């Protein structure tokens, strides 16, 4: 792969723009300026710089974002800014999209990728990838409410019971809830089914992935190959109250 092809594949612009970056001596790798469009051996994790900004080559990008409140996951947001505006232009150019969605008022862990097969793998109900939420409830929960969430509650538009994979009462109004399904507004509707209301919702984990290293909302990072495998092959925990 030539340098211009590498830059193009990473979203740094059209082929002409990428060739211009090389001509302008804006690309560096291994401590030297790249000023000719030579072949370059690349593997995932290959590091280089463009205009002084560090970048890592990924044939398929997988990004972990600490989503703030007030952002939509839609590629065509209507009422709030889109989460893609939180990412640098090269990632937006190459077409990453969110793996599932979080409501605009929900915060926490969101994955974005340009790998369609990975999106299917992580969102398909048959794979049961666990997602953990920190739920702030309006009213204090009781043990019987947690038991109902674990045994199954009926939502207003579906006669089949929906069960939590795990539920832990951290405080009377703080519930740690793990789900393996992805129904519309599922957490809010499950809490409504036990006579409560969600005041705030934060996703703290997806599979084995957490927000470690991203303490501030709006921060993002690439997910490495080992982490990607851990996310793919995670399974739901045993149910516990």
Q: Is 103 a catalytic residue?
A: yes
- 103 φ, ψ to 5°? -60, 160
Of 161, 148, 128, 150, give the one whose Cα is nearest residue 236: 128
What is the rounded CA–CA span in Å between residue 165 and residue 181? 9
- Token pair 């401590």 in the structure block, residue: 31
Q: Which of 103, 105, 145, 147 is catalytic?
A: 103
CA-to-CA separations, 177 to 31, 153, 236, in angstroms, rounded: 47, 14, 12
| CA 33 from centre of chain | 34
Question: Do residues 110 and 203 make contact, with C-beta atoms less than 8 angstroms apart?
Answer: yes
CA-to-CA separations, 123 to 111, 119, 183, in angstroms, rounded: 11, 6, 11
- End-to-end CA separation in angstroms for the chain: 53
With DSSP H G I counted as helix, E B as strand and the rest as coil, what are the percentages for the chain, rounded to 5? 25, 30, 45
Residues labelled catalytic: 103
């Amino acid at each position: 792969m030539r340098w211009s092809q590498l830059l193009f594949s990473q979203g740094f612009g059209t082929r002409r723009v990428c060739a211009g970056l090389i001509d302008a001596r804006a690309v560096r790798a291994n401590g030297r300026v790249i000023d000719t469009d030579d072949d370059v051996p690349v593997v995932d994790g290959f590091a280089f710089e463009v205009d002084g900004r560090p970048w890592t080559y990924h044939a398929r990008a997988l990004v972990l974002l600490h989503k703030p409140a007030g952002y939509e996951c839609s590629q065509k947001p209507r009422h709030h800014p889109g989460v893609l505006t939180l990412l640098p232009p090269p990632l937006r150019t190459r077409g990453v999209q969110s793996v599932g969605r979080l409501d605009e008022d929900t915060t926490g862990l969101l994955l974005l990728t340009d790998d369609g097969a990975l999106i299917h793998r992580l969102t398909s109900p048959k794979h049961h990838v666990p997602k953990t939420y920190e739920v702030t409830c309006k009213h204090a929960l009781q043990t019987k409410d947690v038991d109902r969430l674990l045994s199954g509650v009926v939502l207003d538009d579906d006669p089949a019971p929906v069960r939590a994979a795990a539920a832990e009462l951290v405080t009377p109004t703080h519930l740690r809830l793990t789900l393996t399904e992805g129904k519309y507004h599922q957490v809010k509707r499950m809490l409504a089914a036990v006579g409560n209301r969600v005041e705030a919702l934060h996703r703290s984990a997806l599979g084995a992935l957490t927000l470690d290293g991203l303490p501030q909302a709006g921060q993002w990072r690439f997910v490495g190959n080992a982490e990607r495998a851990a996310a793919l092959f995670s399974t739901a925990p045993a149910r516990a109250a």
